[in-house]
C-alpha cells in the first residue's frame, strides 16, 4: 500500500471516529442478539466458544499508541529551526578555526553550542510529560469480573472478556465492557459522568427507551461506575470496539494543534534568519568581488549572521514562559505545555464543560418550600445559586420537620474518616497534646486561584448525590435542628420501601425519639408526593391541603424547575400508636391485600383486584401531611459569573458544551452569564403560546435571536458548513446533550472560523476535544486522569475563573514577549552596522562577535527576561483578542520601530562614541576609512603623511631637528605631536608584497624544527599569508609615509613604554602574536624580524618577471617620491616602485649564520645609516630603550665602555658588547645559531605603532559596546509600554530595575576586569567615553514618549456599553508605528 493510500485510509478512519456512536444492539430482539453473539442467557458462552472469540477479538484492552522515546524528544529540542541556525553558526566557527587556528572562532563556536544545549535541556525538562493517556483508560478496567461460562458462575480477569459473555455487576463495580442489560434491580444506576458529563447517576432497566445508544436505559458502557443496584448483562463490545474505546482512539487520532506562540516564534525566526543569511551571503559575495581574503571573508560572514541572530532569544522566551507558568501555578493553574500560557491569552473562544467547571459538581439544596404561618413559601438556602443567601427560618416547625424527613428518609452518610485529621503516612487519626483525636470542622472556607473564598464542606458524604445534598443542608443547621447521625440514632428505622422508578418515592418508618409511636417519612417526585397528601403544615399547625394551596405549591415547583432545579417533595404522618404499636408488622402487601398495611396516600380503588385477586387495603389510602419541597442543583461556582463577564469585556466568546439536559444547561447558562437574552427556542415557544404571527407588533423573530441552545442530536460531522456558520454566528451559544464526537466537531468548526479555541472539561468524554483544542484545560480535582493527560494545563482548583486569570496572563506574556523581542532586536542594527562599516568603508571593525555575544547573552539577558515581570497595561482585558493572522508577534511595524528608529539611533551613538575614542587617541576619523578592512590593523606598523607638527620623545621633549613633513621619526623621538596646526594628510599600511608557500615551514639545513627566532627555519614560508617586506617600508618612506605613533597614545592609560622595546618572546601580546603563537596566527602578523625581497633575490627585484617595482600600499604610482637613496633599508639598487607581489624573499633577524651577507643591510642599515627602525635589536638580560648607532659604544673584557661613540666597528681591546647597550643584529657577531640567547641577550622589537593602533581599536570597540548598552537602557524603558506613557505605567518592575543595575555592573566587569577584558578584547574605557551615548539615550526616551503621546491623542477609543469592550479607531501614527 502506498504512503498516500495509507494517509487516505487514516483520514477516513479519523472521520469515521468523529461520527456519532452507531449501535443497534440495544434495539435488537434479545433472541436475535443472543443468536448473533452465540450466547445463552442462562448458561453463558462455552469455554471453547470464548477461546475462539478471544483469538478473533483479542484482549479486552485498549490499543496503546506509539510513543516517542525521550532521547528523540531531546534531539527535537536541540534541532528546532532556531537551534539549527545557531548550530550552523557554530559549525562555521569551527571551520574558521580549522582554517586559521584563531581561538576566537573556537571560543565563539563553543559559546553557540553551549547556548543551544543549555536552552534545549531547559526546554526539555520543562515540557517533558508522561504519555499516560492510554494508561488512564486502563485504570477504568476492573481487575476481575463475575461471569457465567459453561453454565457455571466464575470470576475471570476482565481483559479476558469477549462479546457474548454474561456478566454480573453490583454497586461499586466498574463496568468492564459495553453491556446490554438483561436483568436488574429497581435501583440499578450507572454514573455516566466520565462519558457524558451528567452529574446525576442514570437509571438503567432492561428495555429500550431511546434510539440513541447514549440515551437508552438498557446499555451500560465500559469505564462507567455502578453506584447502587445490581445487574445481569451481556457483553456486546470489548476493547477498542467499545464506546470508550472509540473515544480513546479519537483522542489519540486527534493531532495536537501548533500553538500560536510557536507559530509566531517560527515566523520571527524565519524573518531574522532570512535577514541574517541574506546579508551574510550578500557581503560574502561582495567581499569575493573586491578580493577580501577567504578566511577574513568567512569570519566576516559569521559575524554578520551572529550579529543578526539574537542568540539569547531561546533562553529569554523559555524563561519568560516558565516564569509565567510559575505565576499561574500560584493561581492554582498547572501548565504542562509552556507555550500553552500564551495560547490562552490568544484565545477568542472558550468551549467550557458545565459539570465541575462552571458548576461545582456537587449537588446542593438551593431553595426550599415549606409552610409559614399563612401559606407555602419559597426560601433560599445558602449556595452559589442564591448568592450565598439564607432566608429560611430555622425556628419554623414545618422547616424543622422538613429537615427531619430529609435526614431520616435518606441512606446517605458522612465518611467517618473525613471527620478527623489523619496522618498522611499511615492514615491513623492525628492526636492532640492530650492524646485526643483532632476533629475536622464540618465546613470552612478555601482560597481559590483567583483569590476568592469558597465555602466548602470538609466532611465527605457517601451515597446518592441528591441525598448527600440533603444531609449537608441539615448538618449545616445541626445546632438548631440536631446532628444527622444523632437524629437517626434517636429515631431508629423500623421499615423501608426503597425508591423505584414505578412508584417514584421512598418511604421510611421510624420510631419517634420521644417514644410516642412511629412516624412515616416519604420523599419523591413532587407530583407524586403532593397527590398523596390531604393535609399540610403551616409552621406548627396541620391544616387541610386546599386546592388553592395545592395550586400554589405546584406553581412554586414549576418556577423552581424552570430555573433548572431538581425538586423533591416531602411528606410525613404520625402513626396512631394504638394501631401501629410496638410489635406491628409493616408490609407492602399480604395474602389478602395488594397494598400496604399502613397509610401511603394511595388513590382509592376499592373495586380493583390484582392478578392474584387481592384488593386494595383501605388503610393505604389514608392521606399524608405535606411538609415541603427541596430544590437541588449542581450550583455555579461563585467566581464564574464575574469571570464570564470579564470574558465578554475581553471579547472572548464563552460557549457551554455539556452532556446534560438542555433545560438544565440553559438555566445554568443564564445564571453564569453565558446567556443573557432570549434564545431562539424561547422566542418560538412564546410566539406559539401567545399566538403571535409574523407581522404582529409583538412578534419576536427567532432569526434575530442572539442566543441559541443546540441539542446534540441536531448536529454531527456531516452537518454542513453553512449550518455550522449559522449556529456559531450567534454570540450566545449552549450545546447540550453532546457526545464526545460532537464536542470535537464543535471545536473543529470554531477553529475553521479562525478562532483560537480553549476547551475545558473533566470527563473522558472531553479528552478528544481537549486534545484537538489550541489549548486544552482539564480539572485537577474532579477531572479524570484521561482528560488531565490530554490537556495542556490543569485547573488545580477546578475554577473557571482561573481560566480568565490565565487569559490575562496569556495576553500579558504575549505583550511582554513583544516588548522583550522589540527590546532584544534593537541591538541588531548597532551590531550589524559595524560589519557594514568594516566592509563598505573599510574602517577598523568597531565591534567583535564576542562583544555581540556579550550583549546578546550577557547584558541583554536579564533586562529582556525582566519584561516577563512587567505589569499589564490598563487596556489588556478590554481590547479584543488578537487576530493571529494580522497581529503577529513580530510585525513590520516592530521591525521599523526597533531597527529603523531605536536601533538606528543606537548605531549612530555607537559610531559617534567609536570615532570620539579614535580621535581622542590620535586617529582622526579621516584616516580610518579604507584602512581597517585588512587583516593587518594592529598587526603591522601604521604609516602616515604629516603636515606640520613635531616629533616627541618619551619625556615630551620636542625634536627640533626634524620636520615631520619630510623627515621620518628617530629612535629617540618616535611620537608625532600635531601641536596647533599639524594634521594628518593620509595614512596607510605598507604593501604586503610577499606571499610565501602555504605548506609547513621547512626544516633548517641541519634538521632543526621551526623556531620563530631562528631565521634559518623559515624556509621562505608564510603559511599562505601575504607579508610585507623591508622594501615595502622603504617605499612608504620614499613617499614620505612615516611610521606613526601618536603622542595622544603616549599619554593614554593603555600606554606602556615597553611597546618601544618589546621582548618578542613575550606571549602576552595578542596583537602581534609573538611568543607561543600558532604558526598560522604568527605569519598573519609581523614576524620576529624582516622579510627582504632583495636578500632573497641576490640583491635585485628582477627575478619575478617583467615587473621589477615595489611600492607602499595606498600610495598612487604617480605620487611624489624623494630620492631613493635617502631611505635605503635594503640592498636593492632599483629606483622604481610599484604594487607587485614576489615569490622569493629571505627572512633576516641576525639569528643564523645562514643569512650570510644578504641580510647585512637589512640588519644594520646601508652606507652608515642609523639603525633600521623596523628590525629587531638585542639587549642584555631584558629589553630596554634603543639608542642610535651614532651613540653606540663597546666595552672591554671588564665591561668598561671604550672606543669612540658613533664608530660602529669594534677594535682590538674594545670589541665586547656592553650590558647596558642594545645592538642591531649586525653587531652581535658571527655567532652560531642561538648565540644571542646563549649569551643572555633578548630579541626586542619596536611594536609601538602597531600595538598603539590595536589598543586604540580595543578601547573604541569597548566604548562602542558600552554605548550600545547605554542605548539599550533607554530602549528598555521605551519598551515597557506599547501604548501608555512610562510615567503612567510606573517603574514598579523591580526585576527590571535589577536588570538595569546588573547590566551596568556587567558592563563594568566586562570592560575593567583584566582576565575578562583580555578575553573579550576590551580595555578600561575612560569615564568620559561612557557619556558619549547618553544624549542619544535621552533622545530615544523623549522621542518615544512623544510618539506614544501623539498616538494616544490621535486614536480615539469607544467603549461598548453592553460588554465594556474597548475598540479603538487607529490614527495614522498608530497604524504605522504601533507594534
User: Which positions are catalytic?
Assistant: 353
DSSP-assigned beta bridge partners for residue 220: 179
**Are 309 and 276 within 8 A, CB to CB?**
yes
Per the structure block, which three cell numbers stand in for 304? 554578520
Helices (H), 1290-1371: 1294-1312, 1314-1320, 1327-1330, 1334-1353
Name the 3-class secondary structure at 924. Answer: coil
User: Which residues, in sequence order, are CB contacts of 500 under 8 Å at separation 6+?
Assistant: 186, 187
Q: What are phi and psi of 1037, to 5 degrees?
A: -60, -40
DSSP-assigned beta bridge partners for residue 1307: none
**Are 1054 and 922 within 8 A, CB to CB?**
no
Closest to 338 in 3D by CA, of 792, 871, 774, 861: 792
Per the structure block, which three cell numbers stand in for 1081? 596566527
Burial 255-269 (b: 16+ CB within 10 A, else e): eebebbbbbbbeebb
Per the structure block, which three cell numbers stand in for 64? 496503546
Reported as half-sphere exposure (CB side, CA atoms, 13 A), residue 1234 has a value of 4
Residue 797 per-residue DSSP state: T
**Are 359 and 827 within 8 A, CB to CB?**
no
Phi-psi region of 1250 (alpha: psi -120 to 50; beta: other; left: phi over 0): alpha
CA quadruple 29, 31, 35, 40: dihedral positive or negative? Answer: positive
Q: 608, exposed or middle or buried, with CB in 10 Å at 0-12, 13-18, 19+?
A: exposed
Closest to 247 in 3D by CA, of 132, 162, 137, 163: 137
Per the structure block, which three cell numbers stand in for 327? 505565576
User: Which residues, in sequence order, are CB contacts of 778 under 8 Å at separation 6+?
Assistant: 760, 761, 762, 766, 770, 787, 788, 790, 791, 793, 794, 795
Q: How far apart are CA 1282 and CA 1379, in angstroms?
A: 7
**Are 1256 and 918 within 8 A, CB to CB?**
yes
Q: 1106, exposed or middle or buried, with CB in 10 Å at 0-12, 13-18, 19+?
A: exposed
Burial 47-71 (b: 16+ CB within 10 A, else e): eebbeebbeebeebbbeeeeeeeee
Name the 3-class secondary structure at 703. Answer: helix
**Are 470 and 402 within 8 A, CB to CB?**
no
Per the structure block, which three cell numbers stand in for 806? 490565565
Q: How far apart are CA 36 and CA 243, in angstroms?
A: 20
Q: Which helix (H) or strand (E) holds 99?
A: helix 81-100
Look up cell 575612560; give the residue: 1326
**Are 1252 and 1049 within 8 A, CB to CB?**
yes
Reported as half-sphere exposure (CB side, CA atoms, 13 A), residue 739 has a value of 22
Per the structure block, which three cell numbers stand in for 281? 551571503
Closest to 482 in 3D by CA, of 460, 445, 513, 440: 513
Q: How far apart are CA 976 and CA 952, in angstroms?
A: 6
Look up cell 437517626; give the residue: 488
Q: How far apart are CA 1293 and CA 1283, in angstroms?
A: 17
Amino acid at each position: 500500500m502506498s504512503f498516500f493510500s495509507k494517509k487516505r485510509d487514516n483520514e477516513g478512519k479519523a472521520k469515521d471516529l468523529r461520527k456519532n456512536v452507531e449501535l443497534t444492539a440495544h434495539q435488537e430482539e434479545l433472541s436475535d442478539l443472543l443468536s448473533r453473539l452465540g450466547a445463552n442467557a442462562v448458561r453463558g458462552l462455552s469455554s471453547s466458544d470464548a477461546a475462539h472469540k478471544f483469538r478473533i477479538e483479542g484482549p479486552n484492552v485498549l490499543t496503546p499508541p506509539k510513543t516517542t522515546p525521550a532521547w528523540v524528544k531531546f534531539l527535537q529540542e536541540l534541532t528546532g529551526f532556531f537551534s539549527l541556525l545557531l548550530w550552523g553558526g557554530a559549525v562555521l566557527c569551527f571551520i574558521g578555526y580549522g582554517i586559521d587556528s584563531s581561538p576566537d572562532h573556537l571560543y565563539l563556536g563553543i559559546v553557540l553550542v553551549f547556548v543551544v544545549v543549555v536552552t534545549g535541556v531547559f526546554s526539555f525538562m520543562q515540557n517533558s510529560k508522561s504519555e499516560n493517556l492510554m494508561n488512564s483508560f486502563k485504570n477504568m478496567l476492573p481487575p476481575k469480573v463475575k461471569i457465567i461460562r459453561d453454565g457455571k458462575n466464575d470470576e475471570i480477569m476482565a481483559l479476558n472478556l469477549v462479546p457474548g459473555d454474561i456478566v454480573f455487576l453490583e454497586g461499586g463495580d466498574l463496568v468492564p465492557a459495553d453491556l446490554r442489560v438483561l436483568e436488574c434491580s429497581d435501583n440499578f444506576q450507572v454514573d455516566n459522568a466520565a462519558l457524558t458529563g451528567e452529574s446525576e447517576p442514570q437509571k438503567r432497566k432492561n428495555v429500550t427507551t431511546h434510539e440513541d445508544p447514549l440515551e437508552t436505559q438498557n446499555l451500560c458502557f465500559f469505564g462507567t461506575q455502578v453506584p447502587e443496584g445490581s445487574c445481569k448483562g451481556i457483553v456486546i463490545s470489548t476493547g477498542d470496539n467499545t464506546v470508550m474505546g472509540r473515544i480513546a482512539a479519537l483522542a489519540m487520532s486527534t493531532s495536537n494543534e501548533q500553538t500560536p506562540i510557536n507559530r509566531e516564534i517560527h515566523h520571527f525566526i524565519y524573518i531574522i534568519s532570512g535577514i541574517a543569511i541574506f546579508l551574510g551571503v550578500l557581503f560574502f559575495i561582495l567581499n569575493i568581488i573586491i578580493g577580501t581574503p577567504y578566511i577574513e571573508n568567512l569570519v566576516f560572514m559569521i559575524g554578520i549572521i551572529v550579529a543578526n541572530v539574537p542568540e539569547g532569544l531561546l533562553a529569554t522566551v523559555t524563561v519568560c514562559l516558565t516564569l509565567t507558568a510559575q505565576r499561574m501555578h500560584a493561581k492554582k493553574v498547572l501548565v504542562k505545555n509552556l507555550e500553552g500560557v500564551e495560547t490562552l491569552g490568544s484565545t477568542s473562544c472558550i468551549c467550557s464543560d458545565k459539570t465541575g467547571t462552571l458548576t461545582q459538581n456537587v449537588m446542593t439544596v438551593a431553595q426550599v418550600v415549606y409552610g409559614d404561618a399563612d401559606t407555602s413559601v419559597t426560601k433560599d438556602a445558602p449556595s452559589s445559586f442564591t448568592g450565598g443567601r439564607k432566608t429560611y427560618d430555622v425556628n419554623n416547625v414545618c422547616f424543622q420537620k422538613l429537615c427531619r424527613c430529609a435526614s431520616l428518609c435518606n441512606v446517605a452518610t458522612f465518611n467517618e474518616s473525613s471527620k478527623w485529621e489523619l496522618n498522611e503516612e499511615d492514615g491513623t487519626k492525628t492526636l492532640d497534646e492530650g492524646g485526643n483525636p483532632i476533629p475536622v470542622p464540618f465546613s470552612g472556607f478555601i482560597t481559590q486561584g483567583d483569590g476568592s473564598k469558597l465555602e466548602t464542606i470538609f466532611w465527605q458524604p457517601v451515597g446518592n448525590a441528591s441525598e448527600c445534598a440533603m444531609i449537608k443542608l441539615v448538618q449545616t443547621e445541626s445546632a438548631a435542628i440536631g446532628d444527622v447521625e444523632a437524629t437517626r440514632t434517636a429515631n431508629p428505622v423500623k421499615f423501608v420501601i426503597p425508591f423505584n422508578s414505578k412508584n417514584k418515592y421512598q418511604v421510611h418508618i421510624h420510631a419517634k425519639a420521644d417514644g410516642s409511636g412511629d412516624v412515616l417519612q416519604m420523599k419523591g417526585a413532587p407530583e407524586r408526593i403532593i397527590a398523596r397528601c390531604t393535609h399540610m403544615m403551616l409552621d406548627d399547625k396541620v391544616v387541610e391541603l386546599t386546592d388553592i394551596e395545592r395550586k400554589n405549591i405546584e406553581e412554586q415547583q414549576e418556577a423552581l424547575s424552570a430555573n433548572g432545579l431538581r425538586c423533591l417533595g416531602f411528606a410525613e404522618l404520625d402513626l396512631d400508636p394504638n394501631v401501629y404499636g410496638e410489635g406491628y408488622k409493616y408490609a407492602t402487601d399480604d395474602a389478602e391485600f395488594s397494598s400496604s398495611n399502613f397509610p401511603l396516600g394511595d388513590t382509592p380503588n376499592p373495586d380493583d383486584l390484582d392478578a392474584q385477586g387481592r384488593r386494595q387495603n383501605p388503610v393505604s389510602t389514608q392521606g399524608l401531611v405535606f411538609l415541603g419541597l427541596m430544590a437541588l442543583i449542581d450550583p455555579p461556582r461563585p467566581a464564574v459569573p464575574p469571570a464570564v463577564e470579564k470574558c465578554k469585556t475581553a471579547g472572548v466568546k464563552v460557549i457551554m458544551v455539556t452532556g446534560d439536559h438542555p433545560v438544565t444547561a440553559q438555566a445554568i447558562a443564564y445564571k453564569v452569564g453565558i446567556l443573557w437574552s432570549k434564545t431562539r427556542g424561547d422566542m418560538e415557544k412564546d410566539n406559539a403560546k401567545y399566538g403571535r404571527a409574523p407581522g404582529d407588533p409583538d412578534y419576536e423573530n427567532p432569526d434575530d435571536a442572539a442566543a441559541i441552545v443546540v441539542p446534540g442530536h441536531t448536529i454531527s460531522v456531516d452537518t454542513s458548513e453553512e449550518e455550522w456558520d449559522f449556529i456559531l454566528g450567534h454570540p450566545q451559544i449552549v450545546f447540550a446533550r453532546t457526545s464526545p464526537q460532537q464536542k470535537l466537531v464543535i471545536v473543529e468548526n470554531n477553529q475553521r472560523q479562525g478562532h483560537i479555541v480553549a476547551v475545558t472539561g473533566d470527563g473522558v468524554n472531553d479528552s478528544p476535544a481537549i486534545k484537538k483544542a489550541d489549548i486544552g484545560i482539564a480539572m485537577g480535582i474532579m477531572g479524570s486522569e484521561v482528560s488531565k493527560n490530554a490537556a495542556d494545563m490543569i485547573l488545580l482548583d477546578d475554577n473557571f475563573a482561573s481560566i480568565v486569570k490565565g487569559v490575562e496572563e496569556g495576553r500579558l506574556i504575549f505583550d511582554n514577549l513583544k516588548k522583550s523581542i522589540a527590546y532584544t532586536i534593537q541591538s541588531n542594527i548597532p551590531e550589524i552596522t559595524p560589519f557594514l562599516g568594516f566592509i563598505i568603508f573599510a574602517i577598523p571593525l568597531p565591534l567583535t562577535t564576542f562583544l555581540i555575544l556579550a550583549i546578546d547573552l550577557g547584558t541583554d539577558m536579564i533586562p529582556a527576561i525582566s519584561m516577563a515581570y512587567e505589569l499589564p497595561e490598563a487596556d489588556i482585558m478590554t481590547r479584543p483578542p488578537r487576530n493571529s493572522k494580522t497581529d503577529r508577534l513580530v510585525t513590520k511595524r516592530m521591525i521599523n520601530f526597533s531597527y529603523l528608529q531605536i536601533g538606528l539611533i543606537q548605531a549612530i551613538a555607537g559610531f559617534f562614541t567609536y570615532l570620539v575614542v579614535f580621535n581622542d587617541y590620535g586617529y582622526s576619523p579621516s584616516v580610518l576609512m579604507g584602512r581597517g578592512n585588512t587583516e593587518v590593523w594592529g598587526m603591522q606598523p601604521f604609516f602616515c603623511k604629516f603636515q606640520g607638527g613635531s616629533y616627541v620623545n618619551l619625556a615630551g621633549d620636542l625634536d627640533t631637528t626634524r620636520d615631520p613633513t619630510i623627515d621620518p621619526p628617530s629612535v629617540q623621538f618616535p611620537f608625532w605631536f600635531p601641536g596647533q596646526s599639524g594634521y594628518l594628510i593620509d595614512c596607510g599600511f605598507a604593501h604586503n608584497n610577499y606571499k610565501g608557500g602555504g605548506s609547513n615551514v621547512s626544516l633548517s639545513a641541519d634538521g632543526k624544527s621551526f623556531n620563530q627566532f631562528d631565521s634559518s627555519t623559515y624556509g621562505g614560508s608564510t603559511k599562505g599569508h601575504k607579508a610585507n617586506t623591508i622594501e615595502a617600508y622603504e617605499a612608504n618612506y620614499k613617499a614620505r609615509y612615516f611610521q606613526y605613533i601618536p603622542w595622544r597614545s603616549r599619554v593614554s592609560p593603555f600606554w606602556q613604554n615597553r611597546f618601544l622595546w618589546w621582548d618578542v618572546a613575550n606571549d602576552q601580546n595578542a596583537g602581534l602574536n609573538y611568543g607561543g603563537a600558532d604558526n598560522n596566527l604568527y605569519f598573519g602578523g609581523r614576524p620576529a624580524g624582516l622579510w627582504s625581497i632583495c636578500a632573497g633575490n641576490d640583491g635585485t627585484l628582477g627575478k619575478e618577471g617583467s615587473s621589477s617595482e615595489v611600492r607602499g600600499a595606498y600610495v598612487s604610482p604617480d605620487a611624489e617620491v624623494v630620492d631613493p637613496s635617502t631611505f635605503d633599508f635594503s640592498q636593492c639598487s632599483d629606483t622604481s616602485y610599484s604594487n607587485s607581489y614576489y615569490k622569493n624573499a629571505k627572512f633576516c633577524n641576525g639569528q643564523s649564520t645562514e643569512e650570510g651577507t644578504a641580510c647585512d643591510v637589512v640588519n644594520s642599515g646601508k652606507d652608515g645609516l642609523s639603525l633600521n627602525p623596523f628590525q629587531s635589536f638585542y639587549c642584555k638580560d631584558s629589553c630596554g630603550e634603543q639608542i642610535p648607532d651614532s651613540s653606540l659604544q663597546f666595552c672591554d673584557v671588564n665591561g668598561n665602555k671604550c672606543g669612540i661613540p658613533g664608530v660602529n666597528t669594534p677594535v682590538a681591546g674594545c670589541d665586547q658588547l656592553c650590558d647596558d647597550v642594545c645592538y642591531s643584529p649586525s653587531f652581535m657577531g658571527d655567532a652560531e645559531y642561538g648565540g644571542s640567547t646563549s649569551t643572555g641577550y633578548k630579541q626586542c622589537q619596536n611594536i609601538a605603532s602597531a600595538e598603539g593602533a590595536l589598543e586604540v581599536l580595543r578601547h573604541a570597540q569597548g566604548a562602542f559596546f558600552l554605548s550600545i548598552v547605554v542605548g539599550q537602557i533607554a530602549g528598555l524603558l521605551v519598551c515597557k509600554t506599547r501604548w501608555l506613557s512610562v510615567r503612567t505605567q510606573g517603574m514598579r518592575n523591580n526585576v527590571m530595575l535589577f536588570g538595569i543595575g546588573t547590566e551596568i555592573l556587567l558592563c563594568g566587569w566586562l570592560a575593567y576586569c583584566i582576565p575578562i577584558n583580555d578575553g573579550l578584547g576590551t580595555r578600561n574605557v575612560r569615564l568620559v567615553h561612557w557619556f558619549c551615548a547618553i544624549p542619544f539615550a535621552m533622545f530615544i526616551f523623549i522621542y518615544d514618549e512623544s510618539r506614544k503621546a501623539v498616538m494616544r491623542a490621535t486614536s480615539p477609543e469607544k467603549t461598548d456599553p453592553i460588554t465594556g469592550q474597548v475598540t479603538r479607531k487607529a490614527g495614522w501614527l498608530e497604524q504605522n508605528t504601533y507594534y
